[in-house]
Amino acid sequence: MTSENHSSDPQKEAESPSPTKSIKKPEPAFGWNAYAEKINGRFAMIGFVLLLLIEFLTHQDFFTWIGLR
């Protein structure tokens, strides 16, 4: 590494480019919107994988657990 990268000169720090474009994070909102759909989809995927994992480990299906078989 060179000493130019870690300079303590305030003039060079002021000249360094700053990002002009900021990333806008989605904010939670009430109702049907893209943020709610993403969160709902993620929880659904996690739940489905957990359901398959539990069925694999117990050798029983979901309907047996809830008493329909």
**CB–CB of 36/45 below 8 Å?**
no
pLDDT tens-digit map of 15-57: 666 667 788 876 777 778 988 899 999 999 999 999 999 999 9
Return the SS3 of 14: helix
Count of CB atoms within 10 A of residue 37's CB? Answer: 10
Residue 13 lies in a domain: no
pLDDT tens-digit map of 55-66: 999 999 989 988
Residue 6 lies in a domain: no
**CB–CB of 15/7 below 8 Å?**
no
Q: pTM of this prediction?
A: 0.54
Residue 67 lies in a domain: yes
Number of domains observed in the structure of the chain: 1
Domain carrying residue 43? 33-69
